[in-house]
Amino acid sequence: MQFSRTTRFATLLAGLFLAFSMVAVDHADARRSGSFGSRGAKTFQQAPTTRTAPQPTAPVERSMTPNTGPTAARPGAAQAQSQRPGFMNGFGGSMLRGLMLGGLIGLLLGQGFGGLAGMFGLLMQALLIGGAIWLVLRLLRAQPARSPEPALAGAGAGGGVARRDVGSSDIGRSFKIPSIGGSASAPAPAAQPTHRDIELGQQDLDTFERMLTEVQEAFGREDHKELRRLATPEMVSYLSEELAENAQKDVRNDVSDVRLLQADIAEAWNEGDRDYATAALNYAAIDVLRDRKSGDVVEGEAGTATETTELWTFVRQTGGDWKLSAIQQA
């Protein structure tokens, strides 16, 4: 079956438009159902599954807690990797991608496999020329740099003790000189926070159920003062950001009739002077978007409650009240 050039071009544009549309939809959905907040040292760890939330919970996507775990990338490592010099990462890669795209477009516009054959010929030439250029640049970078002058003077050929001139700024400071033949001890690793499992009582569980309703209703009323009482400053910042976005769109999130259906504790632990507890909550609520001026429902059904399962993490300092510190979608 043969197609005209116009048909091929229209098909190509339609495919590109569909791809970009899918990316935009995925981004919007991720923003509305994201997981955010802090769970102390367990922020980036997977919470245990429970009877209420038997499936793995979405990881925290937005948090002010630094990721210092063993799987965390070093600062700048990803950027350094992306900027590492190489033929495929620089001009050569861009040129090859351009040639392949040109051959593909040539095939779609009616040049057939002849366009692809020409593309592969140019591809081989580009590989040879680009490879030679890359090899020369690699050899130039590999030349040894001039050795710097020794920073400390006065050490004899036999390895005597190095002397350090003490200036006026060093008066009153103490420092140690490594013994001859010894090696300076490596700095001690940073102490990791200790985790200790704790037991919660029925009073704590009742508090979590009450806070579920209070947080939802305060969010629906756009009551920032109440949110500051119920949640950590980090969580208040995330919730306030969403409320500001609703205000820009001239809508407000109306949440009512919150009912807890099922709940259990995924884990509870102590870190120094703070206690943490992650609870799996399955609840129903009427959650709609209304026009700020008319009050009409613009999204959702006013008379129908929707069911949601989330993991809420609460934190309290010694002798303090529980506060909401993270929400994860289950």
pLDDT of residue 275: 97
- Residues, the chain: 330
Q: Is the pLDDT of residue 297 over 90?
A: yes
What's the CA gap between 276 and 265, in Å, rounded?
11
pTM for the full predicted model: 0.57
What's the CA gap between 276 and 313, in Å, rounded?
7
Reported as half-sphere exposure (CB side, CA atoms, 13 A), residue 258 has a value of 19
pLDDT in tens, 236-259: 999 999 999 999 999 999 999 999
What's the CA gap between 298 and 290, in Å, rounded?
5
pLDDT of residue 150: 42
* Structure tokens belonging to residue 59: 């990881």
Phi then psi for 319, rounded to 5 degrees?
80, 5
* Structure tokens belonging to residue 77: 């490592």
Could you give the angle at the alpha carbon of 278 between the alpha carbons of 272 and 284, nearest 5°?
A: 155
Buried b (16+ CB within 10 A) or exposed e, 222-259: beeeebbebbbebbbebbeeebeeeeeeebbbbbeebe
- Asked if residues 227 and 263 have their Cβ atoms less than 8 Å apart, the reply is no
